[in-house]
A and B are shown apart, each in its own frame.
Chain A
Amino acid sequence: MKILVTGAGGFLGRYVVRCLLARGHSVRALIRPASSAPNWGSRVDTRYGDLRSELDLPSLFDGIDGVMHLASATSGNEDTQFASSVVATERLLDAMTRSSVKRLIHISSLVVYDWSKAAGYMDENTPLLADPSGMGAYTIAKVWQERLVQDVAKKAALELTIARPGFIWGRNHVNIAAMGRRLGRSFLMFGPLTRLPLTHVYNCADCLVAMLENRNSIGRIYNIVDSDDVRVWRYVREYARRTHQSGALIPLPYRAGYWTARLASRISRTLFGAKGKLPSILTPTRFESQFKPLRYRTELLSETLGWTPPKPLDQCLNDSYSMEREDEDVAQPVSLT
């Protein structure tokens, strides 16, 4: 297949391109003008452009069999993220629905769920956030982006699969929000025994390509989590050990943090009404979305796609913290299980 990959120059995008190439597909990679393209070789048709601005979008779809839509912003203010994720998707889908391409894998996120309504575990049936306006810029953008994709896919009868990865981690991306907060040289962990919804970037890319290749995934939504065996304590300890951090690791009970946030929220409402603003760590819904102790069900991936993460945790850890340069610029065969 020939696959259009948006956001191909990003952290996940580079792994997805490599994985597609390793499985024999060819790729049209859309890279933002200010980014540099890796040396992918002749099977990648690299196009430079930004989905937010003028770009010959219709020609992107010529000869394409499917789209892997990864383009999204992870930093910047609310406007920047909304434009990069939502407005960009609007323009992409507008062009896609005018083309003959129907297959779309959309990369969403676990942040679209209403974490306060997840009781005990999270899976694809967990209720979604109805009103994201009180959340951070990333969450607002991802919620609206997914709503848009679902809406357009329904109207245009696209063959849509939505992937909602957990925390995507890997080399140079080992800091995740669920680790807690730094306090000087120390690390505060809210709920050290909380299970983390991690997916290593290598595994996540492999999973996305598996979705693309398996038509069972059409019309489905998948959470991508390698496993929920890793707890905050272990992840932070590995991080501290492997990056030679000498500060103290301070575990705090999740409930202590949560009730502090609830108390702060109550005081804010009493003093300032609905307009009151608090830092994310003192906003109960945002605290929950980062630290709530849950289990993560992954049965749907194994039952419908037969997918299990190809790279075990220890290998992911070694790869992520290795000082050796991983040659991401060359399409390497990916060992498949």
Chain B
Amino acid sequence: MSRSKGVIIGCGAIAREHLTAIDSIDNATIVGVCDLSPTKAQATAERFGVPTWSTDFKRLIAGHTPDLVHITTPPSAHVSIAEYCLAEGMNVLCEKPIVTDYRDFEKLRLLAKSRKCYLVENQNLRYHSSVQRIRHLISDGHLGDVVDVQIQLFLNLYGLGNPFSDDNTPHFSRALKGGPIGDFLPHIAYLSQMFAGHITELHTLWSTRRSGSTLPADEFRALMRGTAATASVEFSGNIQPNGFWLRVMGTRMSVEADLFNPPRLSIRKLRPGEQALMTVFDGVAEARDIFRGSIAGLGRKLGGTSSYDGLKESLQHVYDCLRGAKDQPITLEEIDRTTKLVDRFTEVGLST
């Protein structure tokens, strides 16, 4: 059976992750890459053995009629490229954030529906191995009812050579509401919704801690009430070391996943017995979880597993659905809810 054909528009870091992931998928192949920089497009094609490269995405698409167009450009270019591709009847997989303004998503959604094309935002953390484990713990009843979800993301926005705070050439994320933090809001939004349900109440706090910073904000907090649970978010561009933690607290169990270092995940659960003794058991179990996860994480790094955990599974799922003529794996309604929540995150308290 022939492989599905994809093209990639935009040859930055995330494009390399797509190419690496596709390389390990049996039923898909990338037939062309595109970038405004010819050398970048050529270097990417040469490195990954892609047969063609171009600086003109319209010409690339016309020449290949791909099954899926991966849009991996900076977010400000997403809408115009997606609009063109959808109008041409192409299926689109777009990196997050799919749009920088919710109104643009409404426009794209209508177009995708009318042309019967996929319009998928890459929400790879839905497929992250640790997120999947937590979902299984919930669906199998081990965790009980979800009561609270905590998301903590610490990322140094100011380090040497850090593109986020480069004042010479502003990083693409400066064009987003919330600046660099805005680039991560889609992940935060859909993870919150996955575990807390539809968000009915939201309180946010934006601030800039670093004096002299040219970023719109470097700290963000959110407190949410969802239909299933509460959720809180803490994003810091100053706390070090970097870390990305997802904690899901249930009526029988609490789970903590280190999303930057999968498969590190530790579980604390109710144990019958003498409390003082159980504290020791808990400590030993937690140490065992962390040790096993750390060793497995090292193995993953040495084995060249992508740091974008879940991306391969996410792309595989999209191509599988395409081949099976199924509905797109992440529905337009789910993407709509994520995009709306991202918009709400930035509605209040953010200086523009």
Contact = CB atoms under 8 A, between A and B. Distances in A.
Given A33-B168, A77-B13, A79-B163, A144 B43 contact: yes
Contacts of A79: 12-13, 163
Contacts of A323: none
B160 A268 contact: no
B304 A272 contact: yes
Interface stretch (B33-41, B75-83, B175-183, B227-235): B33-41
Nearest to B36: A87
A87 B39 contact: yes
B167 interface: yes
Nearest to A272: B303
Given A76-B163, A82-B40, A277 B168 contact: no
Chain B residues touching A, range:
20 to 34
B167 A33 contact: yes
B63 interface: no
A275 interface: yes
A130 B80 CA distance: 37
B58 to A, nearest CB: 21
B200 interface: no
B267 to A, nearest CB: 28
Contact of B302 (A77, A78, A83, A272): A272
A82 B40 CA distance: 8
Contact of A278 (B46, B166, B168, B302): B302
B46 to A, nearest CB: 8
Contact of B40 (A32, A86, A147): A86
Interface residues of A, number: 32
Contacts of A83: 169
Interface in B292-341: 301-305
Nearest to A80: B163
B47 interface: yes
Contact of A34 (B40, B167, B305): B167
Given A32-B168, A87-B37, A90-B38, A276 B303 contact: yes
B241 interface: no
B161 interface: yes
A71 to B, nearest CB: 11
A152 to B, nearest CB: 10
Best-buried of B40, B163, B301, B302 by chain A (most CB within 10 Å): B302
Nearest to B38: A90
A78 B40 CA distance: 11
Interface string A136-168: 000010001001100000000000000000000
A133 interface: yes
Best-buried of B13, B168, B169, B302 by chain A (most CB within 10 Å): B169
Given A50-B168, A86-B39, A133-B47, A277 B301 contact: yes
A276 B304 contact: yes
B168 A34 contact: yes
A316 B55 CA distance: 47
A262 interface: no
A255 B34 CA distance: 43
A144 B303 CA distance: 27
Interface in A264-280: 268, 271-272, 275-278
Contacts of B39: 86-87, 90, 144, 147-148
Given A53-B169, A87-B39, A73 B13 contact: no
A302 interface: no
A35 B167 CA distance: 9
A275 B169 contact: no
Interface string B39-61: 11001001100000000000000
B13 A268 contact: no
A243 interface: no
Contacts of A42: none
A147 B274 CA distance: 70
Contacts of A75: 160-161
Contacts of B46: 131
A77 B303 contact: no
A147 B38 CA distance: 12
Contacts of B40: 82, 86-87
Contacts of A73: 161
A231 interface: no
A188 B302 CA distance: 23
Nearest to A86: B39
20 contacts: A32-B168, A34-B166, A34-B167, A52-B168, A53-B168, A53-B169, A73-B161, A76-B162, A77-B163, A79-B12, A80-B161, A82-B43, A87-B40, A90-B37, A90-B38, A90-B39, A131-B46, A271-B302, A272-B302, A276-B304
Given A34-B166, A148-B39, 17 more contacts: A34-B168, A50-B169, A53-B169, A76-B161, A77-B161, A79-B163, A82-B43, A83-B169, A86-B39, A86-B43, A87-B37, A87-B40, A90-B39, A271-B303, A272-B302, A275-B304, A276-B304
